[in-house]
Structure 1
Amino acid sequence: MKVSIITSCFNREATIAHAIESVLAQDFPDIEYIVVDGDSRDRSLQVIERYSDRITRIISEPDSGMYEGINKGIRVATGDIVGLLHSDDFLYATDIISRIVKRFEETGADFVYGNGLFVDANDTNRVVRNWIGGSYSKWKVRHGWLPLHPTCYIRKTCMDRLGLYDESYRIAADSDLLFRYLYEADLKVEYLNEYIVRMRMGGLSTDSKRRKQMWEEDVRMYRSHGMPAVWTKLQKMAWKVPQFVNLGSL
C-alpha cells in the first residue's frame, strides 16, 4: 500500500524544512512525497530543493491559494492513500504513517483520522490545544463536528470519485470536503486514537484576523449543503471547547 503525502507551501522558509524532515524520517517504506510551492517569494523553494533527491515530486508555479496547490498534488498522486501535511506542521512520530496504514489494512477503511496538537509557533513543545478526534457518526457531522483536517487520510479512489477541494473557498475548503465525504457520502470511516500531527498556531484558520472570513465561509458552506447554516456553525464552534479542557491531561 502506497501513501501519497502532499505539502503545499507559500513563503514558509522558516518551517518547511521541519515539515519535510518529519516525512522523510518515517519508517514506512512506500511514501510518495509531493511538495507544491506556490511560487514563493522567500527562500522556501531553495530549502525544498535541498531535499530534492528524497522528495518524489516538486511542483513550483503560481497558484490562487493553498487549495489549488493541494489539488495539483492530489491530481498527480499515485498512492492508494492520500494525506496532507501543511508547511507549518510536522508529523507527531516517525512510525505514525505505519500506524495509519495498519488501520486501513485491518479495517478496510476508506477514511482514517486521528488526534492532533496545536503548538506554540516559537516553542513547539508547548501545547496550546489538544484536539482529540473521538468517534465518528453522521449525527455528529450534521451537528457541526468535523475531524482535524491534517489528521485525515483518504483512499485516492474515493477522492477521484467524490471530487477535490472547492477552490472558491480560501479557508473553508477543507470543511466543505470533509462534510461532503463524511456526511453526504457513505464511506467506511475509522478513528485512530493516536496523535498524528503537531500544528503551529498561526495558520489561515488560527489567525485571529481571518476569523471573520472563516465564519462567513463556513456559513456559506453549510448553507450550500442545505443545513441551518448559522446554527450548524455555532455547534461546530462548541465542539472545540473540549480541546482546551483536555490540556489539563497533557
Structure 2
Amino acid sequence: MQPKLSVITIVYNNVKDIERTMLSVLGQSYPNLEYIIIDGASKDGTLERIELYRGKFAKLVSEPDKGIYDAMNKGLALATGEYVLFMNSGDELYDAETVSDVFDTANSADIYYGETEMFDSEWKSLGQRRHCAPEIFNWRSFRYGMNISHQAIYVKRSLAKPFDISYKYSADIDWIIKIAKTASSIVNTHRYVAKYLVGGISKKKQLASLKERFRIFTKYYGLVPNLINHVFIAINLAQYFIRHRRTND
C-alpha cells in the first residue's frame, strides 16, 4: 500500500503566491495525500483565496502564531501521514508526478530527498541551488552548508520532532540534522522534487540567520571543526561567485 504523505503549507499575508503553491499540491497524481494549511490570521485576502478550495484539503487552521516554526509545529501536530513534507507558500512541488516518483524510488525509507530549482519573485528560474544535494546524505552533510532544503526532504513522521522555536531563522537546519541522526535509511531520489521561491526570512535577516546557523553547526559538529569547515565554505562561496561572474561577463 502507498504510504500516506502529509503535505503542510504555512502562510501569512501571501495572497500573491498561495494559490500557486496549493495547486502544485492539489494537482499531484499521488492518491494518498493529506494537505494541511496553517495560516497566521492573514488580512490581505490570503484566507479568502484558500477558501476557494475548501473541500480539497484536509485541514485548515487560521490563527495568530509565534513565528514560522511555531506555525510549522502546528501543522506537524495535525499530520496523520506516515511521512511529512513542508511546502510553504511560494514554493511548489516540482511537477504533478513528483510525490509518486519519490515513493517509487524505494520502499519505507526514513528520509527521501532530491534537488531544488530556485525561482525569483517573478517566477523566473534561477537554476539549481548553489548547494547541490549530495549523492549520499547523513547528519554530517550540512557541515559545509545546507545542501538540502526542507522543501526537498520527505521524512517519516515518527522521526519528526517539533521544531525548536528558540531558533528564529534556521530551526529547519536543526530539525533536519536531528532527524538524519536517527534515520537508518536515507534515499536520494536523483530528481528535482521542489521549486523554491528565493527571498525568505533567512535572506531578509541574513546576518542573524548566519549567526544562528553557526550556533547550530557548532552544537552538532564542535567549535573547532565548525571554524575549519567555514574556511572551506568561504572558499567555495568565493569560487562560486567568480565562476558566476565569468558566466555573466
- TM-score bracket for the superposition, by shorter chain length: 0.7 to 0.9
TM-score (norm 2): 0.86
User: Relative to 1, partners in 2 of residues 1:239 and 1:115: Cα closer, same or farther, differing over 3 Å?
Assistant: farther
C-alpha distance after superposition, 1:6-61 (max 9, x if no partner): 00101111000000000010000111000000111211111111111101100111
- On the 8 A contact 1:120/1:128 being kept in 2, the answer is no
* Unaligned stretches of 5+ residues in structure 2: none
User: Relative to 1, partners in 2 of residues 1:238 and 1:98: Cα closer, same or farther, differing over 3 Å?
Assistant: farther
Query: In 2, distance between residues paired with 1:59 and 1:80?
Result: 21
Alpha-carbon RMSD: 2.4
What is the deviation of 1:190?
1.0
Query: In 2, distance between residues paired with 1:71 and 1:238?
Result: 36
C-alpha distance after superposition, 1:206-233 (max 9, x if no partner): 33xx111111111222233352244445
What is the deviation of 1:239?
6.3
User: Relative to 1, partners in 2 of residues 1:243 and 1:52: Cα closer, same or farther, differing over 3 Å?
Assistant: farther
What is the deviation of 1:198?
1.0
User: Relative to 1, partners in 2 of residues 1:95 and 1:137: Cα closer, same or farther, differing over 3 Å?
Assistant: closer
Does structure 1 residue 125 correspond to structure 2 residue 155? no
Does structure 1 residue 153 correspond to structure 2 residue 154? yes
Query: In 2, distance between residues paired with 1:234 and 1:179?
Result: 21
Does structure 1 residue 191 correspond to structure 2 residue 188? yes
Equivalences for 1:218-229 in 2 at 5 Å? 218-225=213-220, 227-228=222-223, 229=226
User: Relative to 1, partners in 2 of residues 1:158 and 1:63: Cα closer, same or farther, differing over 3 Å?
Assistant: same
Q: Percent identity?
A: 26
Q: How many residues align?
A: 238
- On the 8 A contact 1:146/1:179 being kept in 2, the answer is no
Equivalences for 1:88-107 in 2 at 5 Å? 88-105=90-107
Does structure 1 residue 134 correspond to structure 2 residue 134? yes
Query: In 1, distance between residues paired with 2:25 and 2:238?
Result: 30
- On the 8 A contact 2:159/2:182 being kept in 1, the answer is no
Query: In 2, distance between residues paired with 1:146 and 1:38?
Result: 28
Q: Which letter does structure 1 place at the counterpart of 2:222? A: M
Find the partner of 1:211 among 206, 209, 231: 206
Does structure 1 residue 78 correspond to structure 2 residue 64? no
What is the deviation of 1:197?
1.1
Equivalences for 1:1-250 in 2 at 5 Å? 1-105=3-107, 108-122=108-122, 124-130=123-129, 132-138=132-138, 139-144=140-145, 146-159=147-160, 163-182=161-180, 184-207=181-204, 210-225=205-220, 227-228=222-223, 229-233=226-230, 235=232
